[in-house]
Amino acid sequence: MSKKFKYAATLSLAATFITTLLSTGGSQAAAQSMNAPVAIAATFISQPVVQPLADVQQDAVADRSEANASSLAELVAETDIPAALSKELECLAGAVFFEAKGESLAGQLAVGRVIVARSNSGRFPASYCGVVYQPSQFSFVRGRSMPAINRDSRAWQTAVRIARIADEGQWKSPVEGAMFFHATYVSPRWGKTRMAKVDGHVFYR
């Protein structure tokens, strides 16, 4: 037998022995790991879940707090004037301004709530601007436009606040549910149910 052959045979025998040894040890390790009990440590974390209120919910909360004012005057004082008015709020505030700017807050709110009631009734246009600009309804309207308004005046700022309160239904008017009104210096024959006189207007259902 040549030296090369003896060397190869010896190397092959050693490799076989090592493979067998490792296989037996590996099998035993695998069997032990399969049969051995496994301890699992579980950690529970208890924390309160805090969800921020959505914007709509926060607005609703703010509205409820405003509606808790002890008087209409207090509510008007607490009501913010938006940086920019929507077209609809502009129409509502304009009607309050021109129809009742010289009247009490209750009288201004009564006018505003009539416009809101009309827009929700299904009998009149479904928007504030539609109600205000409906032909032959408001004497201050000229060709589907209003006269110029001094927007820095206290009267306009009050009208805007009243319009917001009327729009959001934060305070009931003294003639809540009224759909019509006229100035006290005229006496139209309407045949409608009279509710009450508030300042310079008479209101009807």
Ordered by start, the domain boundaries in the chain are 71-204
What CATH number matches the domain at 71-204, 3.40.190.10, 1.10.10.2520, 3.30.379.10, 3.30.565.10? Answer: 1.10.10.2520
Please provide the average confidence, as pLDDT, over all residues in the chain: 78
Tell me the two tokens of residue 15.
């490799």
Tell me the two tokens of residue 133.
């600009």
> Does position 104 have pLDDT exceeding 60, yes or no?
yes
Indicate the DSSP class of residue 170. -
- Strand 180-183 and strand 194-198: pairing? unpaired
Query: How many CB atoms sit inside 10 A of residue 73's CB?
Result: 12
**pLDDT by residue (tens digit) across 132-145?**
999 999 999 988 89
C-alpha 73/C-alpha 167 separation (Å) is 17
**pLDDT by residue (tens digit) across 41-79?**
444 444 443 444 334 333 433 444 345 789 999 999 999
CB burial readout 185-194, b (16+ within 10 A) else e: eeeeeeeeee
Q: Which carries the bigger pLDDT value, residue 85 or residue 40? A: 85
Model confidence, pTM:
0.67
Indicate the DSSP class of residue 51. -
Using CA of residue 5, residue 7, residue 10, residue 14, what is the dihedral sign?
negative
> Does position 111 have pLDDT exceeding 90, yes or no?
yes
C-alpha 110/C-alpha 178 separation (Å) is 8
C-alpha 163/C-alpha 167 separation (Å) is 6
Tell me the two tokens of residue 52.
């921020």
The fraction of the chain above a pLDDT of 90, given in percent, is 63
**What is the rounded average pLDDT of the residues 123-131?**
97
> Does position 24 have pLDDT exceeding 80, yes or no?
no
How much is the pLDDT for 12?
53
**Quick one: how many helices (H) and strands (E) in the chain?**
7, 3
Tell me the two tokens of residue 95.
């009607």
